């Protein structure tokens, strides 16, 4: 309602007429995630419209893909979603291997699964700590980062990087998984199982957390479908969609794990999916450690890699959902086109519709439950 002659007296009397204002959240704001900017049209504390403005850390990875060789683009993929680097490099090497028909030794596939699942756990730990910081709980991130450190140490010993891993190579791995890594990973699984129970006692059953997340920010499965949301977001809306099962890749078909699904559609459901996923990842790692065979860690790959003319897609289940690479080759050493379909992009795109009518603190809690990584959106 606009201020008119009839309503002016209300404003002057201190009884303000109904009007909206625009709240600029970010790009650098303590309550915002990374460099995400959201323009919120507010009706008091209620959100009328929340429009994410993105692109502040856009780096044009897809263009970089067109001016360097296939192998030289590989490290770029680990910098898209830097918390989920193993999965992203997996998708790119997978696409190239599929196009060039490169065989990957079994040992390398098992090592990829082990490292990918370790990466999934470490990514979920960052989300867990950050979400609770958003909600005003400081302590959990200290526990999470303490445990995450063990994963980073293991992966650093393997490939030298602590965050932006480039461990996978076309046809295999950069180097073999050694006994120290396998033993260290086994110890980590044993260490982590009771820790997850402690996480549950400390945080998940906490009444304040439940009040902040339960029935907050419902996202229906139909909304997810219309926007292409995936990962824990869709699994928190009652749909058991997981790329590891829907489009099986690597040795996932040989491993026994459950896809955690919650039907409540609220922020708590998405929280629970991720907590259960950490448990399932530990199960996968345990089995993979039992089954990993001896043998070579890299297959035969031509020194100069030229892919046959045509296009190929490859999708993986990254920590935030479906990551798909579409490569187009014109037969040269350099890609003709690299398309990167990232999960955070689609997961955020439904935010405008899903946040309508929510109050601001709830909308921020819901944003935390989407687990956004801004470089993953901006690419």
Partner 1 sequence: MNPSLEQLTADYTALAGQVETCDFALKGYHLSVAVPSNQVVAAAEIADRAGFSIDAVTGVDWIAQNEMEVVYDFFHFTSPLRVVVRTRVPRAEPELPTISAVFPGANWHERETHDFFGICFTGHPNMKPFLLPEDATFHPLRKDYQP
CA angle (295, 298, 303) in 5-degree steps: 145
Using CB under 8 A, which of 165, 241, 257, 271 touches partner 1?
Answer: 241
- Exposure string for 39-52, b = 16+ CB within 10 A, e = fewer: ebebeeebbebbeb
- Spell out the residues 6+ positions from residue 146 whose beta carbon is closer than 8 angstroms to its own: none
Q: How many helices (H) and strands (E) does the chain have?
A: 16, 8
Residue 239 in the binding site for partner 1 (CB under 8 A):
yes
Using CB under 8 A, which of 5, 12, 63, 294 touches partner 1?
Answer: 63
Residue 226 in the binding site for partner 1 (CB under 8 A):
yes
Residue 54 in the binding site for partner 1 (CB under 8 A):
yes
Using CB under 8 A, which of 80, 213, 350, 370 touches partner 1?
Answer: 350
3-class secondary-structure state, position 146: helix
Angle subtended by helix axes 85-100 and 70-77, to nearest 10: 150
Give percent helix, percent strand, percent coil of the chain, each to the nearest 5: 50, 15, 35
Residue 103 in the binding site for partner 1 (CB under 8 A):
no
Question: In the bound complex, what is the minimum distance in angstroms from residue 20's beta carbon to partner 1?
Answer: 19
Residue 378 in the binding site for partner 1 (CB under 8 A):
yes
Six-digit token string for 63: 């263009």
Q: Which helix (H) or strand (E) holds 339?
A: strand 337-341
Give the interface segment with partner 1, choosing from 130-138, 148-156, 160-168, 308-316 (CB under 8 A): 308-316
Question: In the bound complex, what is the minimum distance in angstroms from residue 269's beta carbon to partner 1?
Answer: 16
Using CB under 8 A, which of 40, 114, 219, 224 touches partner 1?
Answer: 224
Residue 225 in the binding site for partner 1 (CB under 8 A):
yes
- Measure the CA–CA gap between 242 and 247, rounded to whole angstroms: 8
- Spell out the residues 6+ positions from residue 359 whose beta carbon is closer than 8 angstroms to its own: 45, 46, 47
Q: Which is nearer to partner 1, 29 or 226 (CB)?
A: 226
Residues in region 260-299 near partner 1 by CB under 8 A: none
Question: In the bound complex, what is the minimum distance in angstroms from residue 227's beta carbon to partner 1?
Answer: 4
Give the interface segment with partner 1, choosing from 76-84, 268-276, 345-353, 354-362 (CB under 8 A): 345-353
Q: Taking a C-beta distance cutoff of 8 angstroms, is the pair 11, 3 a contact? A: yes
Q: Taking a C-beta distance cutoff of 8 angstroms, is the pair 319, 81 a contact? A: yes
Using CB under 8 A, which of 8, 246, 258, 331 touches partner 1?
Answer: 246
Using CB under 8 A, which of 95, 130, 177, 275 touches partner 1?
Answer: 95
Q: Taking a C-beta distance cutoff of 8 angstroms, is the pair 92, 66 a contact? A: no
Residue 133 in the binding site for partner 1 (CB under 8 A):
no
Give the interface segment with partner 1, choosing from 197-205, 239-247, 267-275, 355-363 (CB under 8 A): 239-247
Q: Taking a C-beta distance cutoff of 8 angstroms, is the pair 322, 233 a contact? A: no
Question: In the bound complex, what is the minimum distance in angstroms from residue 21's beta carbon to partner 1?
Answer: 21
Nearest to 188 by CA among 143, 156, 149: 149
Residue 62 in the binding site for partner 1 (CB under 8 A):
yes
Q: Which residues bind partner 1 (CB under 8 A)?
A: 54-55, 58, 60, 62-63, 66, 95, 98, 221, 224-229, 234, 239, 241, 246-247, 311-315, 322, 324, 326, 328, 336-337, 339, 341, 345-346, 349-350, 353, 378-379
């Amino acid at each position: 309602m606009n201020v008119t002659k009839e309503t002016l007296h209300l404003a002057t009397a201190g009884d303000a007429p109904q009007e909206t204002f625009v709240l600029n959240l970010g790009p650098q704001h303590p309550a915002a995630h990374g460099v995400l900017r959201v323009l919120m049209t507010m009706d008091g504390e209620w959100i009328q419209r929340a429009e994410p403005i993105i692109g502040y850390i856009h780096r044009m990875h897809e263009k970089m893909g067109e001016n360097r060789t296939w192998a030289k683009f590989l490290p770029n993929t680990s910098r898209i979603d830097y918390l989920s680097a193993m999965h992203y490099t997996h998708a790119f090497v997978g696409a190239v291997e599929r196009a060039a028909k490169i065989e990957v030794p079994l040992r390398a596939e098992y090592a990829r699964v082990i490292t990918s699942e370790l990466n999934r756990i470490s990514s979920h730990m960052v989300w867990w700590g950050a979400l609770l910081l958003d909600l005003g709980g400081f302590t959990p991130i200290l526990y999470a980062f303490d445990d995450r450190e063990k994963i980073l140490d293991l992966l650093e010993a393997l490939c030298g990087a602590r965050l932006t891993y480039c461990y996978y190579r076309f046809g295999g791995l950069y180097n073999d998984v050694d006994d120290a890594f396998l033993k260290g990973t086994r110890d980590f699984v044993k260490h982590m199982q009771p820790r997850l129970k402690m996480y549950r006692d400390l945080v998940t059953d906490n009444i304040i957390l439940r009040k902040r997340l339960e029935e907050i920010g419902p996202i229906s499965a139909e909304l997810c479908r219309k926007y292409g949301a995936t990962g824990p977001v869709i699994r928190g809306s009652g749909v058991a969609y997981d790329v590891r099962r829907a489009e099986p890749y690597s040795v996932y078909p040989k491993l026994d794990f459950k896809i955690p699904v919650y039907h409540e559609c609220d922020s708590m459901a998405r929280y629970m999916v991720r907590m259960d996923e950490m448990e399932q990842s530990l199960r996968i790692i345990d089995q993979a450690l039992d089954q990993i065979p001896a043998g070579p860690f890299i297959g035969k790959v031509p020194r100069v890699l030229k892919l046959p003319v045509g296009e190929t897609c490859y999708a993986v289940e990254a920590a935030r959902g479906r990551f798909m690479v579409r490569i187009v080759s014109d037969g040269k050493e350099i890609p003709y086109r690299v398309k990167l379909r990232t999960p955070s992009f689609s997961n955020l795109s439904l935010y405008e519709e899903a946040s309508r009518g929510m109050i601001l603190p709830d909308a921020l809690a819901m944003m935390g439950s989407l687990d956004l990584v801004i470089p993953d959106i901006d690419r």
